[in-house]
Structure 1
């Protein structure tokens, strides 16, 4: 009896020789027919893998005894002229193929990826062996994409309740991200592409998908990156919508921290920047609406400062620079004293607050310069208000606010956060506010050697 034809269904029906091209044969293409593809042929390899399946029970990580046994098997068959080494290898030798086929079987065959595994291991193995014969699964296996294999490994571990496999998957995915960072983030603006992709994923998920753990933690961490991207590119962010300011916390309203409310104001400010640029581009701009929005945001920011001061009245203190301080140049120390905090998030809140206050003051200055008819703000305490701390607080002195941010950089450097994208926005704003040619500006412009990201002068007056 001859071998079964491997041709597509159309060629077999027409009794023609099929060229077996993937994903569609050329005969069907030439005949302007839709190639229905190829039949999946189940290959029963139960006898070959029975012993290995019983020993490993689909364990991806072999024990020391299994590794030794596998080594002995391979060594003994290497010297056999006609021996097939694959015939006696345990399943761990096919780890990558198995986990990718498992992922394909569970996800692309309309099956729940986390459904408990079949009690019949041989039946499940047969499904995966059949799945590996499909052209698109073979393509996935041959691609050797580390992120794909990490995902497949994680699904395999979750479905089979193998914590060790999940740990290995996390490590493998971390290694893939490290390689991506080397390729993308060292290109200067690579973080922007990362932020764009992150924004699309987060917006598609919607706010209700960020209410539980760990989704909300990821949302809170990445919101800083997204709003920084929006401000630096002067574009409104979807995070300014009311539902994105409320829904992630609606199950636990008390968990919304003071810093979270500051980020709400930052999200609104990104929209003000876009409106400002749009108005300035018109032939006869009207600034009244922009003035009202700016005053409202300044009031919101002042209210935020007063609340933060109530919660953390003694958060900041002045300290002398350490001997190995980074805040020095060839002339000596940049500042006689620096700022330190007991809590990192208090320090981070202040550097973000100062940067936002500088930008709001710059917006007001632009509006005042372009429209002298706009009345100066007269409400007491709107631009300046004294406080009993070492911080500027509610102040209209933009340069003093910028220098205060500079005095915070030693603290961030010690805590190893200064090189992340989360401080890029306040650093760019600080750099843009410092007088050009000043010692502080020169130091910040050449500070990448201390682990800071490359800074760019950012000012509202610049297009």
Structure 2
């Protein structure tokens, strides 16, 4: 049996005695027998276990079945009763519907508060919170299962999930015994709950688990265990999400960008033929979101943009509209890189510019056709992808951000639809801005670009305002903590454009959102060594908005 020792008083004091809790409370010398103290057995009381050798640690300690059988059943019953008295919200009622009225949003907030209260009670019983019981005996499997369950409740949107977040459910359900994966998921769960309740014990333990996961992951990769081990790839995805939290980012362990690059290197080493199982295809699909965002910022083709890797996605039995979108969108960053190289190449010709414009135009037409068909399919079942609503229909957002530069925002029919719309608008902005730049470049020479390639400035402005109008939706309770992740690329894309084109009211709005919305200890990740195009904190342009 496993026990968590979490007394704040004990954690902060230097360890002088390694005796069990009962003997220390009775002030008698403990024989420190394992698995349980013999003096406790002699007196007919259950041994409460031994504290950790490390001050501040939250470690599991082995106990025997004897301890479990003799646990205080009366205390266990009372603790369960206290937990059950907290009303549990009906998750089925949070199905990702529009919730366009203030009363619906208020109901969602109330259910969220009830859910958080239930979670906090359970964390106290598990010994994670400082005011919880310090000698509570519970199964280690239940401890971890409860923590992961609470994390999923808080982190995942209450709607049909997408691959980027289904992966976490899959990891929890599969009960992997890979140390680095468990430690990584521990870290992400503890970070989420720690910032929710501002509990430093949880946050510090999360940082420790993150470091342990990173070290074990490095060992597995050095041994070559990643070649056909899907859990190793899953660990990279989990650790990348940990980097969204300030405490991990400031520790300087790796960085979101390094995890994305590392994941692509592991994919490349394995090769596309190794992705056949449902789990491996889910991992590949999950990585596309981060790879696209990263590649759009770095303006470099990701590994999975090649034809052989794009073909892998169509092996999955769970293909949907997102499959086609990413097949097209992943080709855009490589075209942006060609544009950047062409700008520096004094030997470029009109033919080079025309060729790149034609390639961009083909992808543009494909993306527009995809979006149009997607909207038509939704309309045939009487369900619009989104509606423009007054900003007051987003009470959580308006309660933390008081800037009213945008008086309306998009109410999406579900979180996955909102997430995919934002990715589409960000991709189209990058593509069309690149075409605009090429047309100007052509005008400097003898080549006259086709009128079909002309991009008005107003179109780029609309893409950025659409991205801004998606952010309030991601702040509301039905988007959960994952909503913060969904805002990173829209915020960055719009911020750089507004600042560089002197749209100062919109730029100030971005600054106000960045200061007010990220209230869970999260902020946009950064990409080092590229100060013009970095994501979030390190951008010279973005810092002006603060």
Give TM-score scaled by structure 2 length: 0.49
- Post-superposition CA distance 1:267-322 (Å, at most 9, x none): 11111011112222212223122122111111111221222122223221122222
Residue number in structure 2 paired with 1:131:
none
Distance 1:329 1:233 in 2: 32
Distance 1:267 1:205 in 2: 20
Q: CA RMSD in A?
A: 4.6
Question: What is the deviation of 1:165?
Answer: 8.5
Residue number in structure 1 paired with 2:421:
350
- 1:318-357 mapped onto 2 (5 Å cutoff): 318-322=388-392, 324=395, 326=397, 333-357=404-428
Question: What is the deviation of 1:404?
Answer: 1.4
Structure 2: 5+ residue stretches without partners: 4-19, 39-48, 53-58, 63-140, 146-172, 192-206, 211-241, 526-530, 535-539, 541-546
- Post-superposition CA distance 1:108-128 (Å, at most 9, x none): xxxxxxxxxxxxxxxxxxxxx
Instruction: State how many pairs are aligned.
Output: 319
Question: What is the deviation of 1:208?
Answer: 3.8
User: Given the alignment, which residue of 248, 269, 276 partners 2:332?
Assistant: 269
Question: What is the deviation of 1:193?
Answer: 2.0
Distance 1:425 1:165 in 2: 32
Distance 2:523 2:36 in 1: 53
Is structure 2 residue 431 aligned with structure 1 residue 366?
no
Q: Contact 1:338–1:408 at 8 Å: present in 2 too?
A: yes
Q: Contact 1:208–1:248 at 8 Å: present in 2 too?
A: no
User: Given the alignment, which residue of 279, 289, 295 partners 1:230?
Assistant: 295
User: Given the alignment, which residue of 266, 271, 278 partners 1:206?
Assistant: 271
SS at match of 1:335: coil
Q: Contact 1:328–1:334 at 8 Å: present in 2 too?
A: no
SS at match of 2:406: coil
SS at match of 2:330: helix
Distance 1:457 1:206 in 2: 33
SS at match of 1:371: helix
User: Given the alignment, which residue of 439, 444, 450 partners 2:517?
Assistant: 450
Is structure 2 residue 471 aligned with structure 1 residue 409?
yes
User: Given the alignment, which residue of 454, 459, 471 partners 1:397?
Assistant: 459
Residue number in structure 2 paired with 1:220:
285
Residue number in structure 2 paired with 1:134:
none
Shift of the 408–368 alpha-carbon distance from structure 1 to 2, 3 Å rule, reads same
Q: Contact 1:428–1:457 at 8 Å: present in 2 too?
A: no
- Post-superposition CA distance 1:135-179 (Å, at most 9, x none): xxxxxxxxxxxxxxx9xx99xxxxxxxx99869977654234542
Question: What is the deviation of 1:97?
Answer: 11
Distance 2:462 2:174 in 1: 53
- 1:115-194 mapped onto 2 (5 Å cutoff): 172-177=183-188, 178=191, 179=207, 180=210, 181=242, 183-186=247-250, 190-194=255-259
- 1:69-80 mapped onto 2 (5 Å cutoff): 79=29
Indicate the structure (1 or 2) with the bigger Cα radius of gyration.
1
Residue number in structure 2 paired with 1:432:
496
- 1:260-299 mapped onto 2 (5 Å cutoff): 260-286=323-349, 287-299=353-365
SS at match of 1:322: helix
Distance 1:164 1:261 in 2: 28
Q: Contact 2:325–2:367 at 8 Å: present in 1 too?
A: yes
Structure 1: 5+ residue stretches without partners: 1-59, 63-69, 99-149, 155-162, 385-393
Q: Contact 1:195–1:229 at 8 Å: present in 2 too?
A: yes
Higher relative contact order (CA 8 A, sep 6+): 2
Is structure 2 residue 372 aligned with structure 1 residue 306?
yes
Question: What is the deviation of 1:239?
Answer: 0.8
SS at match of 1:305: helix
Distance 1:74 1:206 in 2: 57
Q: Contact 1:327–1:334 at 8 Å: present in 2 too?
A: no
